[in-house]
């Protein structure tokens, strides 16, 4: 999202100014007059924003704010809200996941999928499949995160392989960030009554000629797009409440947090260059000293 916004290709919501960034951690330096929630000046907090989180100071709705527990570092806290809330939203209110369903997380080692894989396992998924662009990332998803199996989209026909791995039953819920290049594969690998949630279009938005949508009808599939940043503060607040319930899982280690690199904000260009390389397994955090 930051890369797209930087290049002028992201539909920035009207509440956001020109500064990038949708998640942060820090101290409260002042409060508006009508705050009803339990926040006071000086509190250590972290949260979600419509924009502006690359700045030193940010004004946010308290519906999108959480108290930072002592067990989380500033860097860990700053990297939680966007990805854990996005994964929660994709899995539950949008994806309608229930215990026993199988799930496929594309871009398995992306930060959203790192959260999503763990949430799927904790929610009782029957199997969690991933795709990723290297064996190292697949090993990480399987060995570190507990995914059932992973497939390298650069060297394997992932939809055929996953179809086989499910005993030709297919996957109940697919979370996709890739769009164009994966559209046909997602239709092919979905189970009957399956749900495909589109959260991004990393390969493009325009479908190739010859895409066969027959499976949409034959298998009674649903394809649903979603975007967290376009949701209103009340909706985001409800997801914030769900995230608050995970805080003890971060403390007891049942949910793991992964930070690829911490970089001073003066070197934000390096942070973007690193993100563009597609080599990360977790968050890139910029610190303001």
Residue (213 or 279) nearer to ligand NAP, CB:
279
Minimum distance from CB of 207 to ligand NAP (Å)?
A: 15
Minimum distance from CB of 30 to ligand NAP (Å)?
A: 29
Residue (153 or 255) nearer to ligand NAP, CB:
153
Minimum distance from CB of 255 to ligand NAP (Å)?
A: 15
Q: For residue 30, how many C-alpha atoms fall within 13 Å in the half-sphere facing its CB? A: 5
Residue (44 or 188) nearer to ligand NAP, CB:
188
The two structure tokens encoding residue 179:
């769009």
Residue (2 or 43) nearer to ligand NAP, CB:
2
Residue (37 or 241) nearer to ligand NAP, CB:
241
- Which residue, 127, 109, 85, is CA-closest to 239? 85
Minimum distance from CB of 94 to ligand NAP (Å)?
A: 9
Q: For residue 139, how many C-alpha atoms fall within 13 Å in the half-sphere facing its CB? A: 3
The binding site for ligand NAP (CB under 6 A) comprises: 1, 82-83, 86, 107, 109-112, 132-134, 137, 153, 177-178, 199-200, 202-203, 226-228, 275, 278, 280
């Amino acid at each position: 999202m930051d890369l797209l916004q930087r290049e002028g290709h992201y539909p920035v919501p009207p509440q956001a100014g020109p500064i990038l960034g949708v998640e942060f951690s820090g101290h409260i330096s002042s409060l508006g007059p009508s705050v009803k929630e339990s926040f006071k000046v000086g509190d250590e907090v972290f949260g979600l924003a419509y924009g502006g989180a690359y700045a030193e100071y940010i004004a946010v709705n308290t519906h999108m704010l959480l108290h930072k527990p002592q067990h989380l570092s500033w860097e860990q806290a700053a990297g939680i809200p966007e990805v854990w809330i996005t994964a929660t939203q994709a899995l539950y209110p949008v994806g309608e996941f229930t215990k026993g369903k199988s799930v496929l997380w594309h871009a398995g080692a992306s930060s959203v999928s790192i959260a999503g894989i763990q949430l799927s396992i904790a929610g009782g998924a029957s199997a969690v499949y991933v795709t990723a662009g290297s064996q190292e990332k697949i090993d990480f998803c399987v060995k570190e995160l507990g995914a059932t199996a992973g497939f390298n989209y650069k060297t394997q026909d992932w939809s055929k392989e996953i179809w086989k791995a499910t005993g030709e039953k297919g996957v109940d819920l697919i979370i996709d960030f890739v769009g164009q290049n994966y559209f046909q594969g997602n239709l092919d690998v979905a189970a009957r009554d399956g749900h495909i949630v589109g959260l991004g279009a990393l390969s493009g938005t325009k479908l190739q000629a010859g895409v066969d949508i027959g499976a949409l009808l034959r298998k009674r599939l649903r394809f649903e797009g979603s975007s967290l940043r376009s949701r209103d503060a009340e909706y985001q607040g409800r997801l914030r409440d769900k995230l608050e319930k995970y805080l003890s899982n971060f403390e007891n280690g049942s949910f793991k947090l992964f930070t690829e690199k911490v970089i001073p904000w003066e070197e934000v260009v390096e942070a973007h260059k690193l993100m563009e390389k597609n080599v990360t397994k977790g968050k890139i955090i910029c610190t303001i000293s």
